[in-house]
Structure 1
Amino acid sequence: MTKVDCVCAVGAQLGEGPLWSAPEQAVWFVDIKGRQVHRFDTRGSALSSWAAPEEVGFVVKATGGRFVAGMKSGLHSFDPTNGKFTLITRVDSDRPRNRLNDGYVDGAGRLWFGSMDNDESQSTGSLYRFDQRGLRRCDENYVITNGPTTSPDGRTLYHVDTLERIIYAFDLNDGDLSNRREFARIEKPGAYPDGPAIDADGCVWIGLFGGWGVQRFSPQGELLQTIEMPVANCTKVAFGGNDLRTMYITTAWKGLSKEQLATQPLAGGLFATRVGTPGVAPNEVRYDG
């Protein structure tokens, strides 16, 4: 069994979106329902936190030392020096029950993210692209979106339909998507695919919400590996460390009963383990503003 350690027992209600920052040797992540942005310093194990004015689905780095946060109302710039969030553009303003959930920056500096019904019942969610051309809805009719991520060569984009338990693949060409197809389906009973991440071999890692672990799929969609976790709700992984072979895993206690929480005291913590194949370093959003 792979050794997995809880490196930060933060107790996030809905931990999500781990992001490795090499200059800081730190992991950024969010607690969506707790409305918190967290930064875990791996050198000294110190945790810094910022309160968000809305539910915050992700933070990603942008050029010029900036951050972009996906909030309930839309995309915001985030300045950790003063904790200020400033609106960039509204998203789904005609769908007030929606919020943003998960985001990723591709090699060209384009931000890809999803929106979803905050009550997790209506298929009002969409997959979006944000770049120098502005905001574009690229796919829709999701209840819960997760991802995306892209292959190392930038030619394939992966996106998750959580309730349908499907990971989709798209052809990606200059920011345009085509040929949506089923890449893989989660078969583990009680498990729902959450956030995806890519490694240097082009394999897709998926957090399993309710599945007690994370899974690794080949570029052909074949299940290769499962890492078991001591908590049920595993949301997403990120690769860090000097060799990008330390996998950080966000988790959640959302949806657990008091009895379940009593048996999972580390639920909502940030975990880490070592893997054989390194990940791919994160990119920065390129936008004017």
Structure 2
Amino acid sequence: MEVVLDARATLGEGPVWDQREHVLRWVDIIPGLVHRFDPGTGEDTCFEFGERVGTVAARASGGLVLATATGIWTCAADGSGRRRLHEVTDPPGGRFNDGKADPWGRFWAGTMLEPGDGAAAFYRLDQDGSLHTVLTGVSVSNGIGWSPDGRTMYYVDTRTGGVDAFDHDPGTGALTGRRRFADVDRGWPDGLTVDAEGGVWVALWDGWGLLRYTPDGRLAGTVEVPARRVTSCAFGGPGLSTLYVTSARVGLSDPDRQPHAGAVFACEPGVSGQPAGAWGG
């Protein structure tokens, strides 16, 4: 695991590989910064959205879709031309957290309210622009990913201490059969990604690393990260063979012990990822 961008982010999150420009997009939630990192040049640029931004994804027709403190927005890749599609203030005082576009043109994102008291929800934005409440009673909505065949969706509600799985219908986005996929006993489960072999990679908030689970829920390996608050991960680069990892500095009592907290890290884990989706609206 190496530092590819010593960003010193307050709360780095939501990495996603944008195949259109061969760049990594990610957010720093608290200052509301939407970043564009080019691994080829090492250049990282960003725009300020003006409120907390939980996640970013590509839009198939061009530009981006964002889940923020006040709702779901679209904008151009440089942040211009902003348009709010849906105002979401449930729970009051909360905000959108993690989210992701799926390979079938939908965008999924969930909310949270400190300290995660079960008042939040999980939403699906369809290609026609309609917004659907998928789950209620959520504490801190977090990582999302799909099996290579699209029949299983993995989901993290952080305060439950594990990863759940649903039966997923790629044609409609319907979820059924919620069940526990894996319990996480190292820190708290945060963002996740699924590789091309079906392995589920889970970032560990307060856990100094990532865990990889096999499709049947067995722990297959651990990757150590020199930052305590590891927030999410995504595959990118040529052949989607590089695993990028975001992290946070917020709330640290010992920043001198982890000078690269808030950095974007990367490693070559020996397995490739799946292409990121884009919202089709």
Kept in 2, the 8 Å contact 1:50–1:83? The answer is: no
Which residue of 144, 156, 161 maps to 2:157?
A: 161
Describe the superposition over 1:156-213 as per-residue Cα deviations: whole angstroms up to 9, x where unpaired. Answer: 111101112121100112211111000001022xx00000101001111000000000
Select which of 11, 17, 35 maps to 1:14: 11
Q: Which residue is 1:34 aligned to?
A: 31
Aligned equivalents of 2:193 and 2:117: distance in 1?
26
Letter aligned with residue 178 of structure 2: R
Partner of residue 237, structure 2: 241
Unaligned runs of 5+ in 2: none
Q: Using the alignment, how far apart are the partners of 2:278 and 2:142 within structure 1? A: 19
Where does residue 183 of structure 1 map in the other structure?
181
The residue number in structure 1 matching 2:112 is: 116
Q: Tell me, yes or no, if the aligned pair for 1:213 and 1:229 is still in contact at 8 Å.
A: yes
Secondary structure of 2:154's counterpart equals strand
For structure 1, the residue ranges without an aligned partner over 5 or more in a row are none
Distance (Å, rounded) in 2 between the aligned partners of 1:170 and 1:141: 16
Q: Deviations over 1:212-263 (max 9, x none)?
A: 0011001111110100011111111111111111110000011211xx1011
Q: Is the 8 A contact 2:47 2:78 kept in 1?
A: no
SS in 1 for 2:176: strand
Tell me if structure 2 keeps the 8 A contact 1:17–1:29: yes
Q: TM-score, normalized by length of structure 1?
A: 0.93
The equivalent of 1:102 in structure 2 is 98
Structure 1 SS opposite 2:211: strand
Alpha-carbon deviation of 1:22? Answer: 2.5
- Which of 250, 270, 273 aligns to 1:276? It is 270
Inter-partner Cα distance in structure 1 for 2:138 and 2:38 = 35
Question: In structure 2, which of residues 51, 58, 61 is the aligned counterpart of residue 61 of structure 1?
Answer: 58
Normalising by structure 2, what TM-score? 0.96
**Residue among 181, 184, 189 paired with 1:193:** 189
- 2: CA distance, partners of 1:44 / 1:272: 15
The aligned length equals 278
Whether the 8 Å CA contact 1:12–1:34 is kept in 2: the answer is: no
Deviations 1:14-51 (A, max 9, x none): 10010112332211100001211111111110110111
Q: Is the 8 A contact 2:49 2:79 kept in 1?
A: no
Amino acid corresponding to residue 161 of structure 1 in structure 2: D
